[in-house]
Structure 1
Amino acid sequence: MPAAAGCPSIRVDLLRHGETALSGFCGRIDTKLTRQGRLQMHVATRHGGPWDAIVTSPLRRCASFAEALAVETGLSIEYEPRFAEYHFGQWEGRTAEQIWCEEPASLDRFWRDPWQFTPPGAEAMESFATRVARGWDDLLGRHAGRRILLVTHAGVIRMVWHLCDRLPRRDFLRMQVGHASLHALVVPATKGVT
C-alpha cells in the first residue's frame, strides 16, 4: 500500500527464522537454528535490503541470525520482546500429530478459530494481538521513512498482516509462512494499529 502524499512511509521486511533444532510448536522455547536454518536465512536475505536497521525477536532462533547479519552489514540491531512468538502453553515442544493423538477436539478448535480457543496454559490470542500491535506501533514511530528488517516468527508475521488489514481473522492460520520466508509491507509511518 503506497503512503499518502507528504506522509512518510516505512517498509518492513518481515523474515521468519529458518529451520530449528526442534520441530512442532516451539513458541517460547528458545531453540536454536540448524545449519540448514542459517543457510535458509542467508539465502532469503542475500538480495534483500538495503535496510536501515534490524529489529529482532530476542529468541535465539531469530536473534542469532540477526546479530550475524548486523555484524556483516554494520547495521544497528534492536531486540524487541513484543515480537517473540505466541506462547503455546502446554503444547510447547509438541508436534501437531502428538496433540492430535491426545486431544484432537482441542487441536481442531484451535485450528478453526484461535481467538475462540486457547490451548491449556497458552497466551490468549487477544493478548498476543495487543502485544504485537504495541510493538508494531512503536516500530512505526521509531523508524518513519526507513526500511527495516524484522526477524521474527510465523505467528508474529501473521498477526502483523492481520493488524494491517491484509489477513482476515478467519484466514489467520491458513496464511503460509515457511521457514526463512520474507514478507514485505509498506505502510504510512503514522498508521498505527492500536
Structure 2
Amino acid sequence: MKKLLILVVCCFLSVPSFGVDWIKDRIYTSLSYSRLGINYDVGFHYTNSTKISVGYVIKPTLDEEFGGVMGLMAKLHYHHKFEGTSMTRYITAGVGPVIVRTMKAKPKISRADNVGENISTLLAEVFKTIVNDKFFSYQIGSGIDLPLSERTSVFAGYKLQRFHKIFHGIELGMSFNL
C-alpha cells in the first residue's frame, strides 16, 4: 500500500512537468503594428494549423476626431503552409468589446475683445463634444508568415477592422513561441 501511495504521489508531482513542456511549445505571443493601431496577443496553438489568441487593441484616432480606441479582441487564426517552402499563409478573424473615446474637432469661435470669454467658450464646447462609445468590434485579415527560427517568425498581411468606423491597412508583426 505504501508503494502504491508513493507511486501515485510521484505521478501526481511529475504530471505538471510534462504539461509545462507540452504547453511551452503551444503558447505564443505576438506583437503587431499597422495603421489600425498596436495589437499584443497571447495565444495557444490548438492544432498545427489553428491558433486561438486573446489580446488588446490600442489605436489613436487623429483624423477629424482626436482620441483613442482601446479594447480586447479574441481571435482565431488558420495557417496553411506552402509546399516546398517555409512560408505560411494565414487567415484571421476576431471579435471583442472596445471603448472609443474621442473629441470632435474644435469649433470656430468669433474674434472678441475679451480673451477670457474665448477660452472659456472654447473649453466648454470641447468638453461637450467628448464621446465615449462602447460596442463590439470585429476584424478579418490575411497574410504571410515567415519563420526566422524554430520559435520566432515575422508576418505581414492586410487587415480590415471595424471600430467606430471601418479601418483597413497593412499589418506587420513578430510572433514568439514561449
Instruction: Kindly indicate which of the two structures has a greater share of residues assigned to helix.
Output: 1
Give the TM-score band, short-chain normalised: under 0.3
Greater fraction strand: 2
Q: TM-score, normalised by structure 2?
A: 0.24
User: What TM-score, normalized by structure 1, do the two folds share?
Assistant: 0.23
- Higher relative CO (CA 8 A, sep ≥ 6), structure 1 or 2? 1
